[in-house]
Amino acid sequence: MSRDIRRVGVVGGGQMGAGIAEVCARAGLDTVVCEADALAAQAARDRVAASLERAVRHGKLDPPQAQEVLARIAFTGSLEDLADRQLVVEAVTENPDVKAEMFTALDKIVEDPEAILATNTSAIPVMRLAMATSRADRVLGLHFFNPVPVMPLVEVVTSLHTRPEVAAVAEEFVTATLGRTAIRSRDRAGFVVNALLVPYLLSAIRMAESGFATAADIDAGMERGCAHPMGPLRLADLIGLDTVAAIAESLYEEFREPLYAPSPLLQRMVQAGLLGRKSGRGFHTYV
């Protein structure tokens, strides 16, 4: 199997997909982002462009470099444009049925028999997605963290079918090509980070729900008392409360531990569209 991955596809141009595409393009890779249609593809392009503008303002890139990065990314509304990719990272909505359908489609479209199909899922079992394809041995998880251009970690998640050499190629891609830190995880809901993080976030949500303390005081307590860079409720808002709820549901389905169950307040906030930073309001308000 070739270890020189130069052509990458990303399915989904939301916050995570756009970030993954940006990181790949910054590494000099030929990158294609596929969205549902041309309008969504343009929105994905705008998302990447805005992120690169922030990088310029913060002195991480100069304007010509930012233009070069954006020029390396093609945006499309057609999955067929991913046919020649060596690696495709799926970053669509955190819904197992939607993701499985996407893997079935990619399996038919991506031509290279040695191509790797990866999911950026936060908690959905990789095996479920792998079995939606005819190449389960070449499917794994590459779980990036938000915001992708800033966060250095990627979880490499292998299923029972993933070939060791496929995992090795993926890990080398993460570390040598993207310059990220890779950690390995078995295919259990939540993997390493979210299996530890989400119960903590859910505990903070229950504390706010019970009236034990305000959201501001809970966050201040962990920021000032434990030197956390961000309190748990602000972090939940940043991740997206819908994503937190989806991860919690996957964890609870697998482990049946009460600490993983999403609280009624979290469920109601998701139903109300109060999703955190991306909607302008969650446990805190964002302008």
φ, ψ for residue 73 (rounded to 5)?
Answer: -110, 125
Told to judge if 22 belongs to the known catalytic residues of this protein, a careful annotator would answer: no
pLDDT for the residue numbered 107: 98
pLDDT for the residue numbered 285: 97
Q: Is 227 exposed, middle or buried (0-12, 13-18, 19+ CB in 10 A)?
A: exposed
Q: Encoding tokens for residue 21?
A: 């595409």
Q: 183, 229 in Cβ contact below 8 A? A: no
Residue among 51, 122, 159, 263 flagged as catalytic: 122
pTM score, whole prediction: 0.91
Domains with residue ranges and CATH for the chain:
7-186 (3.40.50.720), 194-279 (1.10.1040.10)
Residue among 35, 120, 143, 159 flagged as catalytic: 143
Question: What's the average pLDDT block by block, 10 residues per block, for the chain (287 residues)?
Answer: 84 96 98 96 97 96 96 97 98 94 98 97 93 98 95 97 97 97 95 96 98 98 97 96 93 93 97 96 95
Q: 55, 61 in Cβ contact below 8 A? A: yes
Residue among 159, 185, 194, 250 flagged as catalytic: 194
pLDDT for the residue numbered 2: 47
Residue among 35, 90, 155, 171 flagged as catalytic: 155
Told to judge if 120 belongs to the known catalytic residues of this protein, a careful annotator would answer: no
pLDDT for the residue numbered 1: 46
Query: For the chain, what's the residue count?
Result: 287
pLDDT for the residue numbered 91: 97
Told to judge if 284 belongs to the known catalytic residues of this protein, a careful annotator would answer: no
Told to judge if 68 belongs to the known catalytic residues of this protein, a careful annotator would answer: no
